Amino acid sequence: MKTIVTVVVGSILAATTLFGQNMVVQSLTLPNGANRVTLTSPSLTADVSAPILTNFTGWALGGNSLVGPSSSSNQLGTSDAVDVQLISNNVPRLVLSGSAATVTAPNQTNLRFVESGGSDYVAFVAPSAITTSATYTLPAANPAVAGHVLAAAAAPAPSTSAATLEWVAPSGGGGGAVTYVVTGADVTSASGVFVTGMSVAVAANRTYLVEATFTMSTTGAAADPRFKFVGPTGATMTHGFSATLSDITAANNGSIAGYVATIDTPHSLNIITDNHRGLVFVTGVLTTSATAGNLTFQFNRNGGGSTITLFAGSSLKITDVTP
């Protein structure tokens, strides 16, 4: 005997077919907020219709509407310490731990990031065999400059099972990362306050070769322009410089050289006077401590009432030479 049972769930119809005592459900759609439905039937001799209306907390295969007063309670998972497993082809592909804040992709599963509008991707996958599990903690900030790479940080100390990563410039070995800045416009100083002319970012616990070339002039004979380098806390720098007038004439020529073993110490360029331009070359070595920051070139007027100008095209270059 064949009997058709129509189950009315709210305003939604679900057709079922009954063969003898076995009910075969062709489709059953429950409204959002309804509970599970259990049907029992004796031997039926006629078509029947029975209303069923309860609260449903499951997820429909076609998706759920999250609009309504109960939208905040729409969750997929477990309410006890049992893992949630997502499988395909009867193979676990993703496991949400019920006892720890972990998500596991078992069986060397690829984690793929697909391009926009295409099919190519970037994937991360574990090795086929490892001797111990490894956990990597990502850096807390973006790299300070372009060209930096990820490396294990010194603190906390890395181990065979965990490491905290940080952005660093590539170490020596035939040439490290180079950072180069050039002034795009003139910068002036008309007082004894130091003015920033150029600045580059430096990482912690690194050693840099510093090279600077800049042109200055004054509007008066008694200005005595000065320059200095300022670095992050704990940084040290030894550097020497030479300066010469770039507009040498028979009546006005000269040059000067100097050496300083400490950072943040002004150098006097008293040969640059009376509207003449001076060309200055600086070479030094900067060593940073545990604090990253910026190496900054500053200048000011040491005396007189004139204006000091740092001309566009001046440059500051650092090369990471950390052993």
Residue 130 forms part of a structural domain: no
Residue 156: is the preceding peptide bond cis (ω within 30°)? yes
Written as six digits, the tokens of 308 are 């000091």
Grade residue 219 by pLDDT with cuts at 50, 70 and 90. Answer: confident
Same domain, 21 and 40: yes
Same domain, 159 and 182: no
The pLDDT of residue 212 is above 90: yes
Same domain, 315 and 230: yes
In this prediction, residue 287 carries a pLDDT of 93
Q: Of 55-64, 74-83, 140-149, 194-203, give the range with the top mean pLDDT.
A: 194-203
Residue 77 forms part of a structural domain: no
Structural domain tally of the chain? Answer: 4
Residue 173 forms part of a structural domain: no
Same domain, 164 and 263: no
Cβ 228 vs Cβ 265: under 8 Å: yes
Query: What is the rounded CA–CA span in Å between residue 110 and residue 7?
Result: 44
Q: Which of 62, 97, 124 is the last residue of a domain?
A: 124
Same domain, 66 and 114: no
The pLDDT of residue 84 is above 80: yes
Same domain, 253 and 160: no
Written as six digits, the tokens of 94 are 């993703």
pLDDT digits (tens, 9 = 90+) for 228-241: 899 999 999 999 88
In this prediction, residue 234 carries a pLDDT of 92
Grade residue 54 by pLDDT with cuts at 50, 70 and 90. Answer: very low
Same domain, 110 and 152: no
The pLDDT of residue 316 is above 90: yes
Query: What is the rounded CA–CA span in Å between residue 40 and residue 23?
Result: 9
Residue 186 forms part of a structural domain: yes
Where in the sequence is the domain holding 27, given as residue range(s)? 2-70
Same domain, 278 and 193: yes
Residue 78 forms part of a structural domain: no
pLDDT digits (tens, 9 = 90+) for 144-188: 777 788 888 888 888 989 999 988 876 544 457 788 899 889 988
pTM for this structure?
A: 0.48
pLDDT digits (tens, 9 = 90+) for 267-288: 877 766 667 778 889 999 999 9
Residue 79 forms part of a structural domain: no
Grade residue 211 by pLDDT with cuts at 50, 70 and 90. Answer: very high
Rounded to the nearest integer, the mean pLDDT of the chain is 76
Residue 103 forms part of a structural domain: yes
Same domain, 152 and 277: no
Query: What is the rounded CA–CA span in Å between residue 225 and residue 243?
Result: 12
C-alpha angle 303-308-313 in degrees, rounded to nearest 5: 150
Grade residue 120 by pLDDT with cuts at 50, 70 and 90. Answer: very high
Same domain, 163 and 249: no
The pLDDT of residue 10 is above 80: no
Arithmetic mean of pLDDT, 295-310? 83
Residue type, 52: I
Same domain, 109 and 188: no
Same domain, 14 and 115: no
Arithmetic mean of pLDDT, 70-88? 80
The pLDDT of residue 46 is above 90: no
In SS3 terms, the chain reads as CEEEEEEEECCEEEEEEEECCEEEECCCCCCCCCCCCCCCCCCCCCCEEEEECCCCCCCCCCCCCCCCCCHHHCCCCCCCCCCEEEEECCEEEEEECCCCCCEECCCCCCEEEECCCCCCEEEECCCCCCCCCCEEECCCCCCCCCCCEEEECCCCCCCCCEEEEEEECCCCCCCCCEEEEECCCCEEECCCCCEEEEEEEECCCCEEEEEEEEEEEECCCCCCEEEEEECCCCCEEEEEEEEEECCCECCECCEEEEEECCCCCCEECCCCCCCCEEEEEEEEEEECCCCCEEEEEEEEECCCCCCEEECCCCEEEEEECCC
Grade residue 223 by pLDDT with cuts at 50, 70 and 90. Answer: low
Residue 202 forms part of a structural domain: yes
**In this predicted structure, which of 49-58, 187-196, 213-222, 309-318 has the lowest mean pLDDT?**
49-58
The pLDDT of residue 45 is above 70: no
The pLDDT of residue 49 is above 60: no
Query: What is the rounded CA–CA span in Å between residue 32 and residue 259?
Result: 79
Percent of the chain with pLDDT over 90: 21
Query: What is the rounded CA–CA span in Å between residue 60 and residue 77?
Result: 14
